[in-house]
Every structure is written in C-alpha cells, then in structure tokens.
Amino acid sequence: MNTFNIPNSLTILRIVLIPGFVIALEYGRYDIALYLFAAAAVSDALDGLFARLKEQKTQLGAILDPLADKFMLVTSFILYASYGWVPKWLTIIVIARDAVVVTGWAVVYLMTHRLILAPSYIGKAAIFIQFMTVCYVLLNINYGLLPGIKTFLIWLTALLVVASGLHYVYRELKIASEK
C-alpha cells in the first residue's frame, strides 16, 4: 500500500502546523494560534475518516497519527504552563504519562516485536479531553465568553490521563508477561 496518501499527508500537515502554532503563541497572535489548532483538529478528524473510508490505513499512519497528536498536545501544555494558563502539575502529568507509555511500548516491542499497540477507549478519551482543554483555553483567551469550566476540564484531563497511563501500563505488562 502506498504510504504517501491523503491520510498520511494530513497527519504530516498536522506536524508541520506545530511550529506555526508555537510562533503564533509566542508573538501573542492567539487568533492565529486558534486557527492553526482548529486546522490541526480538523485534519486529525479527516485523516482518520479518509483512512477508513478509502481503506488507506498504513503502518506509517498508525505511528505518525498518535505522534502528531502527542507533539501538538505536549507542545501546547508546555507553553500553556509557561504562560500560567494551565497548572504546571498538569503538564508534568501529561508528559510523564507519555514517557511511561512510550517506554512501555519500547519494552513490549523489544520483547514481542509487535510494532503497534492499539489505542484504548480510555486513551482516546484522554486525548480527546486534552484537545478540548487546549481548545477551551485558546477560545477563552480569544473570546472570553465561555462558561467557567476550566477547573473542571483540568481535573478531568488529569484523571483521564492518569487512568489511561495506568491502563496502558497494565496492558503492556500483560502483553509482555504473555511473551
């Protein structure tokens, strides 16, 4: 299967948008940062849709898609914490969870030679709520008219990130012990 297809191209576009997103935030162009983030979110939805509808799922896409999400989210949380928009402890939890999952994935790969660890529903929920939190903060900075749910989103993000991290560790240990 051709790895240079629409879904993979959209995933690469998401990765390419990250420096522009960072530059926009650094220069106080929160409107542009919001547009770039929205473009990344739309391309994320479209790449999955195209991959399923056109039967263009590839191994490259299975690796790049979650990496693109991670790059955007970790970048966002680091910048947001540095600006005081989200608590630093939340950013530490997000990064620590990703480090644990990647380390576990590497160990499982070395033991089983399985390249892909399928995402779980709780992992997908954690990614979704992280995107919602990042989006909420940007929308609130740009428009300031949103209901005051930031604290709720922060705690829900923390809960789901920790729960998904524990779930991935459990799954990875189970896979490793079966081998």
- Percent of the chain past pLDDT 90, that is, above it, reads 52
Distance separating alpha carbons of residues 156 and 164, to the nearest angstrom: 12
Q: What is the DSSP letter of 116?
A: -
pLDDT for the residue 132 = 93
pLDDT for the residue 92 = 97
The model's confidence at residue 117, banded by pLDDT at 50, 70 and 90, is low
Phi-psi region for residue 58, left (φ > 0), alpha (ψ -120 to 50) or beta?
beta
Measured at the CA of 3, the angle between CA 60 and CA 65, to 5 degrees, comes to 35
Mean pLDDT of 6-11: 82
pTM, rounded to two decimals: 0.88
Q: Is the pLDDT of residue 1 over 60?
A: no
Q: How many residues does the chain have?
A: 179
Mean pLDDT computed over every residue of the chain: 87
Distance separating alpha carbons of residues 175 and 159, to the nearest angstrom: 24
Q: Where are the domains of the chain?
A: 6-178
Q: In this structure, are residues 156 and 127 in contact, taking their beta carbons and an 8 Å threshold?
A: no
Mean pLDDT of 27-35: 96
What are the helix (H) ranges across the chain? 6-26, 30-53, 59-83, 88-112, 121-143, 150-178
| Number of Cβ within a 10 Å radius of residue 157 | 23
CATH (one of 3.40.50.300, 3.40.50.1110, 3.40.30.10, 1.20.120.1760) for 6-178: 1.20.120.1760
